[in-house]
A and B are shown apart, each in its own frame.
Chain A
Amino acid sequence: MEQNKMTEQESLRLIGEMIGKVKRSYITKGIASIVWGVLIIVCSLLTWVQLQYHVDFGFDVWLLVFAAIIPQIYFSVKEKKERKFIGHDEQTMSYVWSAFGICIFILSFYNSRFGGEETTSLFMMLYGVPTFITGGIFTFRPMILGGVICWGLSVVSLFTSFATDMLFLAACGLFAWLIPGVILWQRYLKQKAGNV
């Protein structure tokens, strides 16, 4: 970039151009979203199979969620290390998702202590919160929609059986995380191909 004298219009255009370049660099691989989406779908469907066909897998399938925390941390740290800049919104996001994780843990603990099939609606309601906020902050419509779908299904699940709720939960995993995650992954590949 040359050190030419600029007119006022050129200065404003340059500012807009640089801000736009940074905005387009906010590309995440979406791996975390895909992992959680797949996990929620698998656990929900396995629970549905257990309920529907009276099958016993011999262990609590939802423990798989905790097993996924290790690869999740690994991928997050790896992605962070590869990033060449830190955005203003990343700290906010980290607090939002940490709060979500803590709430899920407390609700799971409540569930294991007191039981109750009604908590599935609360899980879906909670799934919607960070998804909707993330979608809103990054103006990423698939996640905004995913959050809204979680809330909608949360309300509907108040009137349906526990087995049906498991299908709703799988739908939440699909719309809130798996589909947005795949879209992000495709965007990442597209950007990577463009940089080659």
Chain B
Amino acid sequence: MFKELDPILHSQLRLAVISLLISVKEAEFTFIKEKANATAGNLSVQINKLKEAGYIDVTKQFHNNYPQTICKITPAGVEAFETYVKALQSYMNPASQ
């Protein structure tokens, strides 16, 4: 029986964001934008979706008089990512299920 893939994570940019955030404690919006090779507008929309799902925390602050957006994965986000990876593995190695 194949596990269902989380629709929130099974999207290219959202998966890129969550994969990046799982590897760090926290990251700036500009860093994510650069690494995910995304436009600011599209990234904002996807980050909001991840935030609404409770998978990431977003903090807005000022740094050297410039606005700064910091993103951080939540425990729920970590769990969702792990479940997603396990589900992917079940698709790749159906014999192990």
Contacts and interface: CB of A to CB of B under 8 A. Distances in A.
Contacts of B15: 6, 11, 14-15
Query: For this complex, into which size category does the number of interface residues on chain B fall?
Result: 20 to 34
Given A1-B36, A86-B26, A15 B85 contact: yes
A86 B12 contact: no
Q: Is the interface of B mostly helix, strand, loop or mixed?
A: helix
Contacts of A9: 92
Interface in B61-97: 63-64, 85, 88, 91-92
B25 A91 contact: yes
B88 A21 contact: no
A2 interface: yes
Interface string A104-120: 00000000000000000
Contact of A4 (B12, B27, B91): B12
B20 A6 contact: no
Interface residues of A, number: 25
B92 A8 contact: yes
Interface of B: 5, 10-13, 15-16, 19-20, 22-28, 30-31, 35-38, 42, 63-64, 85, 88, 91-92
30 contacts: A1-B13, A1-B36, A2-B12, A3-B11, A3-B13, A3-B42, A6-B12, A8-B92, A9-B92, A12-B85, A14-B15, A14-B16, A15-B15, A18-B16, A18-B36, A19-B19, A22-B23, A84-B30, A84-B31, A85-B24, A85-B26, A85-B27, A86-B24, A86-B25, A86-B27, A87-B23, A87-B24, A87-B25, A88-B24, A91-B25
